[in-house]
Structure 1
Amino acid sequence: MPSDPDRDKDGQVDAGRSAVSRRGFLGRAAAVSAGVVALGPAAAQASPAVVAHRTPVDGLVDVVLSVNGQDRRLRLDPRVTLLDALRDRLDLVGSKKGCDRGQCGACTVHVDGRRVLSCLTLTCAVPPRPVTTIEGLARGEALHPMQQAFVDHDAFQCGFCTSGQIMSAVALAREGTARSDAEIREAMSGNLCRCGAYNNIVDAVRAVQAGRTRNGAD
C-alpha cells in the first residue's frame, strides 16, 4: 500500500503536515477564484456575442406598428400585448378587454387580414404585418357592410362584445367557409355574448353573405 505523507509510521495523522496541506489547497483555490473574477470583465469585452445581446438599460424596445393604414411609432416593454398598446398607447379603445385570457373574443382584431386575439398577442411580434381594428372598418361616414348589418338586425344589446363580434364576422365572411347557420355559429364560437344576441348575429352575417345590406362600404 502506498505511504500517506500525512501519517506517521504508526498510522497516525500528522496534524501539522495535514494542516499545512489543507492551507495550501485553500490558498490555491482562493487564488484561482480571484483570477476568474479579475478576468470576468475582460472576457465579456472579448466576446462580441455578450455585447451584441446586451439588454438596453431601460429594457424598452422600439416598434413601428401599422394600424388602420398609419404607421405608429412606439417605445414599450416587450411584454406589452397588442390590446394594451392599442388601448393605452394609441387611444384605440374599440377593442375591449374582457377576460384578458383569450376566452371571450372581445379583443379580436385583424393582423394581416386574419382575426387574432389581441390580448394574447405581443406587440413586438406583430410588425411588419398590418393591424386593422374596429375603428378602421368604416370609410368616413359609411359603415362597413358588417357594421351596418349588425345595426339592421339588432345584433347587439350592451355592445361590449360587439367590436370583437364584428371583427370576427368580417374575417369569417372573407374566409367564405361558413355558410349554414350551424357553420356560422361554430366559426363564431370564440366570441361570447353575455346578452345572448347570437340569433341576430347569425342573421347579420347571413345578410352580408347574401349582399343584403344597405349603405355599406366594402
Structure 2
Amino acid sequence: MPDKTIIFEDKSVLVVSKPRGLLTVAAKDKKKQKNLLDELKGKYEAERVRLRPVNRIDRDTSGLVIFAKTKEAFMAIMQKQRLDKIEKTYLAIVTGILKKKEGNIKIPLPSRENPKVKIPAKTTYQVLREFRIVKASLIEARITSGKYHQIRKHFRILDHALLMDRDYMERNEYVKYQKIVPFRHFFLHSAEMDFTHPITGKKMHFRAELPEEFAEILKILK
C-alpha cells in the first residue's frame, strides 16, 4: 500500500493524501483496524497535539483528508462545513457511457443516522473520458455537502454506479465487468479541495496527485 503524503501543515491544520485501502478512522467497535488517524497519532501526541478529522473518506477512496490540530480550528471548520463552504472535487470511474456529459444531480439522500429522513444533496459532474470498449467513463464530481456515500449513491441512482463498486452495482452487472476489467474495487479519488483557513481567513486550495494505481488503470481501459 502506498504511504500517506502530507500536502500542507501549519499550527492549525494538517492536510494529508490518504492511500486507497486505509480507513480514515477506526470504527467504534473495531478499534484495532488500521487507519490514518492512528498512523498519525504517534508523532502528534508526542507534541501534545490532538488531531480531529474534519472529513472522512471510505477505505477504498484515496485523496484529501483534513485534520484540525486545535479545538478552535476544528470548531471554525465545522461551522463553515455546515454552511456548505468547503468544495471538494473527486475523480471516479463509473459504469456505462453517460448520455448527458455534464449536469447536476439534486436528489435527497437518506440520513445515515435515520434512513427515513432525507437530506438535500447536490453533485455536479462532467465526463472527462469515455472507454467505449469496456463501456465505462471517467468523471469529475464536485460536492459541497459531502453526505455519506454521496457520489456513489448519486451515480447508482443514475444507473451508472462506480465501476466495481460491490455495494451499489447490480450483481449481474458486477459479474459481467469482472470478466473484462483487471481490478476488483472501485476507483474514487478526492483530488481537490477549496476552503477558507479557519484562523487566518485565507482562501486555500489543495490538490492530491492521482495515485499511480488509478493512473495505470486509465492507461489500460479503452
**Structure 1 or 2: larger helix share?**
1
What's the TM-score, normalizing by structure 2? 0.22
What's the TM-score, normalizing by structure 1? 0.22
**Structure 1 or 2: larger strand share?**
2
Point out the structure with max Rg over C-alpha.
1
Ranked by relative contact order (alpha carbons within 8 Å, sequence separation 6 or more), the top structure is 2
